[in-house]
Amino acid sequence: MRPLLWILNSGLAILLIGTGMFVYLTKISIPAKVSIKPETLHFEQEEEPSADISAIYENDLFNTYTKPTQKTGPEKEVSTPIPEPPKPKSVVVPKTPEPEIKPPLDIALKGTVVFNDDSKNIAMISDNKSHEEKNYKVGDTIEDAQLVRIFHNKIILIRSNGQQEIVFFDEKEAQLETSITKKTWDHVVKKDSEAHYLVDPSAFVSTIPMLSQFIDLLDLTTVYKQGQSIGCRIGKYPDHSIAPSMGLTSGDIIKTINSIEIASNEGRVRAYNTITAMKVGDEITVEIQRSGSSVKITFTLAKLKQPEKKESLTIEKQGEEEIIILGKKSQEQIQEQKVKLLKERYQAAPTLEKIRKKLKENMAKQGSHDIRKRLGLAH
């Protein structure tokens, strides 16, 4: 066995030595690492030859060159003068244009239909020139005027120049309102202390006989918040209004009267019935929202000193009717006046019925015209 192992080991040793010699003799030499970064090239800048070009100007072919002259003496400094400030110009104030007053509209109020919602009120107005009668609502235009308010006895229009016109249903209504505007309120309301006033009920009723006139004097409108009525707002009342004498200002929102909320019509009727049933000595507490704060004003019904008058308004009730009699008269004269007024109302009843009938006819005509217009049949 030993000779065989010796032979095998010898063969492996010879093979190993031969392989090493073969690798050594056949190996490839790797060249040394050489940097490939480019070197900075330096160029020597050649100096440009300087040329004297004065000869070109001196030997000018077209005689356009002028030799500079040498200045003698010191140079003078040239200063720029300071400009004078501008003179103020007088401003011409334009003349204030005189207000243009247009002649009143040639129209007549024939009748009105008044609802709780002012936007639904209807006025029947006749053109005196063409004698054409037509129904109008708030916002409609009549010539250059816009209808802004409709009351039971009058309408208010605004012309294109800002002129305001009031058209009454009849002459008596205009005379009654004119008499109210000429009155003062000292005999009706008297300030007793801060947020406390005295009101003479008799003088109040004789001066403002109708609720609509009181609403007009305060310019009361329903105010809404998030779609819900919260009370009545006092608007831009006229100069002769009773509002300042009662401690009320424009923008006040009346919330409650004697703890009765007046946001709804039921509450307003209830408050009205409560007030009309009061007597001298009773108190009326009004809760007002003013500039986000709650204010309470108390009115005490009391007798106030009345000025001497040659004429006054006497209010008497006969059933559901209120009869207004002007002047101090005897019982016989008052009775005669009552009979006369009742006769006038009786005679006017057919006329009122005709007005209502005419209103319905106009509404039917306008409704038919609107339908035809939508269908494209109107001319």
Q: Which domains are assigned to the chain?
A: 107-169 (2.30.30), 182-303 (2.30.42.10), 312-379 (no CATH)
Residue 52 reports pLDDT greater than 80: no
Query: Cα separation of 280 and 304, whole Å?
Result: 11
CB-based contacts of 268, cutoff 8 Å, min separation 6 = 232, 262
Residue 197 reports pLDDT greater than 50: yes
pLDDT at 102: 84
pLDDT at 74: 62
Half-sphere exposure for 115 (CA within 13 Å, toward CB):
9
pLDDT at 289: 92
pLDDT digits (tens, 9 = 90+) for 320-370: 344 444 444 455 655 665 566 555 555 544 455 666 677 667 766 665 555
Of 72-76, 208-212, 297-301, the poorest mean pLDDT is in 72-76
Entry pTM: 0.42
Dihedral sign computed on CA atoms, order 266, 215, 276, 295: positive
Contacts 24+ apart (CB under 8 A), 349-358: 352/111, 355/110, 355/111, 355/124, 356/111, 358/110, 358/111, 358/124, 358/133
Q: Which two tokens stand for residue 210?
A: 């109708």
Per-residue pLDDT averaged across 196-210, rounded? 87
Per-residue pLDDT averaged across 191-212, rounded? 86
pLDDT at 312: 44
Per-residue pLDDT averaged across 84-92, rounded? 84
> How buried is 185 (Cβ within 10 angstroms: 0-12 exposed, 13-18 middle, 19+ buried)?
buried
Residue 168 neighbours by CB distance under 10 Å:
18
Query: Cα separation of 242 and 235, whole Å?
Result: 13
Highest mean pLDDT among 45-54, 82-91, 118-127, 296-305: 296-305
pLDDT at 283: 93
Dihedral sign computed on CA atoms, order 264, 229, 135, 376: negative
Residue 310 reports pLDDT greater than 70: no
Of 145-154, 196-205, 289-298, 369-378, the poorest mean pLDDT is in 369-378
Residue 169 reports pLDDT greater than 60: yes
pLDDT at 253: 92
Residue 371 reports pLDDT greater than 50: no
Q: Which two tokens stand for residue 338?
A: 């009552």
Query: Cα separation of 168 and 156, whole Å?
Result: 9
Query: Cα separation of 213 and 183, whole Å?
Result: 14
Mean pLDDT for the chain?
76
pLDDT digits (tens, 9 = 90+) for 19-28: 888 877 777 7
